[in-house]
Amino acid sequence: AMSPVVKVYGWAVSPFVARSLLCLEEAGVEYELVPMSREAGDHRKPDFLGRNPFGQVPVLEDGDLTLFESRAIARHVLRKHKPELLGSGSPESAAMVDVWLEVEAHQHHPAAAAIFVHCIVAPLLGGAPDQAVVNENVAKLRKVLEVYEARLSASRYLAGNDISLADLSHFPIMRYFMQTEYASLVEELPHVNAWWEGLKARPAARKVAEFMPPDLGLGKKAEQL
């Protein structure tokens, strides 16, 4: 019997959905992206809330298993299909992947996401960036990236000499952050920049990036208004 196809619910422009898709692509798993509309409020409808009571994308269905939270989805996909990307060789290497995944979630993502939201999303929606918030997060991200520069000058990837989910998990928000006027924060750090260039050149990242236009698909809608 054919195994049930893996389904991902959400819109691929979301960096959280993109994180799940990236791991599925890296692991070579066939999946179906179930299209949803944020504008139509699909994520607040009862059938979707049955899958994720928080009403957020993505949701992954893998046979009888339903998961939400993109980093948990990423770990599940890789644990099942490509455990080496979780540092499966030893408890020590797995621990290092965990450390840098936590850094990504708590240090890198909030700052990079705030800059992206204010510099790209707000103007697309007809608003203006709050420059004070932008400046505060640029300062935070600069400090974080200086730590990355030191780390990446000592090891090829964040968790060691092999690529892992700790690296891949950065791709979705970095993809958007690098479209802002603050991309130089990355470009002026040689090891961070080389790491980023390597990440975005991966076939899986290139495939997922096709679903992630820099204007999040909002440019077309703005023209229609």
CATH assignment of the domain containing 160: 1.20.1050.10
Q: What angle do CA 139, 145, 151 make, to 5 degrees?
A: 150
| 182 and 102 co-located in one domain | yes
Spatial distance between the Cα atoms of 24 and 81, rounded to a whole number of angstroms: 9
Comparing CA positions, the residue from 151, 152, 193, 146 lying closest to residue 174 is: 193
Same domain, 108 and 160: yes
Decide which of 51, 85, 119 is a domain's last residue: 85
Residues 30 and 105 in one domain: no
My answer on whether 97 and 202 are in the same domain is yes
Residues 167 and 116 in one domain: yes
Pair 26, 20: CB distance under 8 Å = no
Read off the pTM: 0.94
Residue-level pLDDT at 133: 97
Which pLDDT score, from 0 to 100, does residue 2 have? Answer: 64
Asked if residue 1 is part of any domain, the answer here is no
Does residue 50 sit in the same domain as residue 104? Answer: no
Same domain membership, residue 147 and residue 115: yes
- The two tokens of residue 29 are 């798993």
Q: Are residues 108 and 67 in the same domain?
A: no
* pLDDT for residue 223: 46
From 55, 85, 115, give the residue that closes a domain.
Answer: 85
Res 60: pLDDT: 98
* Number of structural domains the chain divides into: 2
Domain that holds residue 179: 87-209
| Domain shared by 100 and 203, yes or no | yes
Same-domain status, 92 and 201:
yes
Please tell me whether residues 115 and 21 are part of one structural domain: no
Tens place of pLDDT per residue across the chain (225 aa): 566 689 999 998 999 999 999 999 999 999 999 989 888 999 999 999 999 999 999 999 999 999 999 999 999 999 999 999 999 999 999 999 999 999 999 999 999 999 999 999 999 989 999 999 999 999 999 999 999 999 999 999 999 999 999 999 999 999 999 999 999 999 999 999 999 999 999 999 999 999 999 888 876 554 443
Running DSSP on this structure, what letter comes out for residue 107?
I
Backbone angles phi, psi at 35, to 5 degrees: -70, 140
Q: Could you tell me if 81 and 29 are in contact, meaning their C-beta atoms sit under 8 angstroms apart?
A: yes
Q: List b or e across 185-205, with b for residues whose CB sees 16 or more CB atoms inside 10 angstroms.
A: bbeebebbbebbeebeebebb
- The answer to whether residues 200 and 114 belong to one domain is yes
